[in-house]
Structure formats: structure tokens, C-alpha cells
Amino acid sequence: MLYPDGFKFGVATSSAQVEGCGLDGDRGPSIWDVFALRPGAIAGGATPGKNACDSYRLFDVDLWNMIDLGVNACRMSISWGRVFPQGTGQLNQAGADYYRRCFEKLLSAGITPNVTLYHWDLPQALEDKGGWMNRDSVYWFQEYADRMFRLYGDIVSTWVTVNEPIATYVGYGLGAFAPGYTNKRWGNQARHNVMTASGAGVEAFRSSGAKGEIGVVIDIWKRVPLTDAPEDLALAKDEDEENWKFYTDRLLGTGYSRYILDKFEKEGTLMDMKDEDFRLTNLPIDFYGMNYYNTVPVTVKTERELASGGNFAEDRRVSHPEKLSDVLKVIIGMYGLKIPVYITENGFGHSGVEAVDPATGIIQDDDRIDYLKGAVASVESLLKDGIDLRGYYLWTLMDNFEWTAGNTFKYGLLHTDFSTSRRTWKKSAYWYRNYIRNARGN
Ligand code: NOJ
């Protein structure tokens, strides 16, 4: 059998995207609750409190769906503000109990929880103190992480410190995510600090004595120059440096590249850094989690120029699931990576209305199935090539709160009706269930 015993076939979610139920259970608001109130910030005026899936109340339904899908792993995140409404200090027992129940139920169903500590929902109370721009965020995060390891270290064995740290840059530098600032210097400081915090989380994990493994999730959107023109090659390099190498160089390599440091210095956007920051990110991690969705063709030419040159064959919106393996091999080669890898997210988003079969009422998301077939073929090829890949987590269990896109972008295997919270299986959910069954040989 191609898939080794114990290989994780999972689905992935995150707290702010699925828990919903407003601030029930005394959850402290996150930066996304506040950002969502800004007129025009989120498509359709959606909010995480109202337009997620109410999993805080309906976790059992999600559990049954996962059991039915046949997954043996679930990647989920803890809402920092649910356990610490103020970010630090007093634990909210109702929040702590909620996650313990979730983890226990998953385990009793044979589903291993893979728990992310930070999936973008910083408590607003900490944002009020400067959020990720404040160097103290490293200690706030370390305290939170330490408490989580001590609370759940007996039942959770796979941990992620931070998911896609680029989100802090998008939030402080570009304004498209919470908390909505548009200052590149701030963005660079925030993304530097969140990386340091991740290292501080690893340090806390080791000293807590918790068993298991801890890693970091970095998304790779590899740039592909559309032409061989030097300007296109330079643009692809620049975007690679900004969008993912910033994080991987520091986490998996020896530190930031000369290129990015020189660039920031020239722009006047260089962040404050301490030696201690790098000591923390140099602490060994147990696995690398790669989120892969697509590659990104880049060119300095406008679409009009490309079209008139007859060279627009390569639609920039085309999906390349099959490139998952190439991209992972780039990372492994670039850093001589020796630690195991999980594909911590992979999936297909749909912005339109998904077609329904009138006879069965089942959503016919064949485009998602095609994408997933390409992705799992790529995963299979990695295993054949002997890559130490331990799991594949499909994003996502059900349509949810897709950040700035609100409910307009759907990634779910299950459809969510946001007015009733009812979940229904799409054709892709049946496909994934069959794929897992076949892969396990039963
Ligand atoms: C990556 C993020 O981790 C997740 O929160 C998001 O919903 C998916 N990408 C899809 O955009």
C-alpha cells in the first residue's frame, strides 16, 4: 500500500472561521470581530460571530461528519480569546472546557487532533496594547502557549504554533486583513514579531515537558515568471522573497536573506530585530506544515499587452494542484529539509453558486473534485519518491467564514446554510470518503 500506516487523512478548520455563536461562552472579541464592523471591510458585511458555522454549539455535528468521511485527523485551532478573553491572565474555564471536550470526542472517534495555537484571531484586548507590533506579543503568546500545553498536553500530541504568519503582514501592512493597517514598516515589524512568538511557543513546548510534536505552518505560493524577460524574473524573485521566503528563510534556513534586508533598508521599512529573536526561531521544530493552493504566474506586462502579444494562453486563474509536489521539493531542496512534512492545507475555493443536481439535491462540485484529484496524485508521487510526508489535511470541512471574502468564497466539502447552520454533503465529500477508503485498502 502506498500510504504508510498512520498516515493522516484529515480536514482542516480554524476557530474564527467555524465557531460562530457570537461571544457565547464569554469569548473575548478578536481583531476579526472588530475589523468586521468596519463598513466595507468584509464582503456582505459578514462577521465571525454571525457568519461562521456555529461549531461552538454544533461540534458534535462536525464530529459525526468527520466520522462519516472516515478521516483520522482533524486540524483545528484554539481561539486565544476564548480561553483568555483578555489575552493574558485569567483563564476562561468555559472556553478551556469546550476545547477539552472537542479533543476528547475526536480521540474517542479515532481522530487525532492537530491543534494550531494562532490562526489569526488575536484577542482585541492585546491589539489595544499594540498587537503584533508590540515586542511584548512574544511573551503574551509564550504565556498562552505554555498554558495550552499544560492544559491539553496529556491529550493533544500534534501542535502548530502559528498558521500562515503572512496574515499579520496582510493585516498591518496591506490593510486587507484585521486589524486593517496599511503601513509596510508596521507590517514588517508584525510579521517579524509573530515569527519570534512562534519560536517562543516552541521553547514553551519543550520546557512544559508535553509529549508529541510541534511545527509551524507556512503557505507557499510559488511565483512563476510568465516570460523569460529579466523584468519578469526579477518580479518573480521579489514576490517569492516577500511572500514566503521571508518566513521560510528564517524558520528553515539561517535567517532573512540579504535581498530582503537590503530592500527593507532601502525602503525605510526595516523592522527592529534582536539576537534573541533569532535564537528562538532557530530552536528545532518537529515538522514543517505546508499549505499549498496554487502557483502564481507573474509578469510586469499588463493583461492587455499579453493578450495583444498572443501570449495569454496561461490563464492566471488556472489551478495547478499537480504542482504541490514540485513546490514542496523546492522547499526541501532549498533548505536541505530533514524533518517530516504535513500538507496542512490544500483545497479549492469557489466564488460562484455551486450547481445542484435537481434529482438528488447534491452540489455537483466537479471542479473541486478535479482539483483534488490533481493534488492527491501529487501527494502520491511524493510518497513514491520517498519524501517523509506524514499527512494531508483538506481545507476545509464545510463552507465557513472566509475572512475578507465573508461567505462569498466557499472551500467546503460540505455546504453550510448560514441562516440555519445546516451542513450538507457536496459531491466532493463523497469523493474524499471514497479516496480515503481506497487509499487504506478497504
Ligand atoms: C489559508 C488559511 O489558513 C485559511 O484560514 C483560509 O481559509 C484558506 N487559506 C483559504 O483561503
- pTM tops 0.75: yes
Q: How far apart are CA 53 and CA 158, in angstroms?
A: 24
Q: How far is the CA of 103 from the centre of ligand 1 (A)?
A: 22
> Is the C-beta atom of 395 inside 6 A of ligand 1?
yes
Asked if 116 contacts 62 with a C-beta cutoff of 8 angstroms, the reply is no
Query: Among 30, 119, 164, which residue has the most ligand 1 atoms within 8 Å of its CB, making it the best to mutate?
Result: 164
Residue whose CA lies nearest to ligand 1 atom number 7: 402
Q: How far apart are CA 51 and CA 19, in angstroms?
A: 9
Question: What would the grid cell of residue 158 be?
Answer: 500534534
Q: How far is the CA of 262 from the centre of ligand 1 (A)?
A: 30
Q: What pLDDT, on a 0 to 100 scale, did the predictor assign at position 308?
A: 57
Q: Which residue has the cell 472579541?
A: 29
For the chain, residues with pLDDT lower than 70 are 303-317, 442
What is the helix (H) or strand (E) element at residue 287, kind and residue range? strand 287-291
164 is an active site residue: yes
Q: What pLDDT, on a 0 to 100 scale, did the predictor assign at position 36?
A: 98
Q: What pLDDT, on a 0 to 100 scale, did the predictor assign at position 264?
A: 99
Please pick, among 164, 213, 242, 354, the residue that the annotation labels catalytic. Answer: 164
Q: Which atom of ligand 1 is nearest to the CA of 405?
A: 11
Kindly report the average pLDDT of the chain as a whole number.
Answer: 96
- Specify the amino acid at residue 106: L
| DSSP symbol at 123 | B
Q: What pLDDT, on a 0 to 100 scale, did the predictor assign at position 353?
A: 86
| φ, ψ at 68 (rounded to 5°) | -65, -35
- CB-based burial label for 371 (10 Å; 0-12, 13-18, 19+): buried
> Is the C-beta atom of 142 inside 6 A of ligand 1?
no
Q: How far is the CA of 416 from the centre of ligand 1 (A)?
A: 17
239 is an active site residue: no
Q: How many CA atoms lie within 13 A of 58 on its CB side?
A: 19
pLDDT (tens digit, 9 = 90+) per residue, 220-248?
999 999 899 999 999 999 999 999 999 99
Q: How far is the CA of 396 from the centre of ligand 1 (A)?
A: 9
pLDDT (tens digit, 9 = 90+) per residue, 134-144?
999 999 999 99
> Is the C-beta atom of 294 inside 6 A of ligand 1?
no
Q: What does each C-alpha distance from 349 to 35, 228, 399 come to in angstroms? A: 23, 30, 9
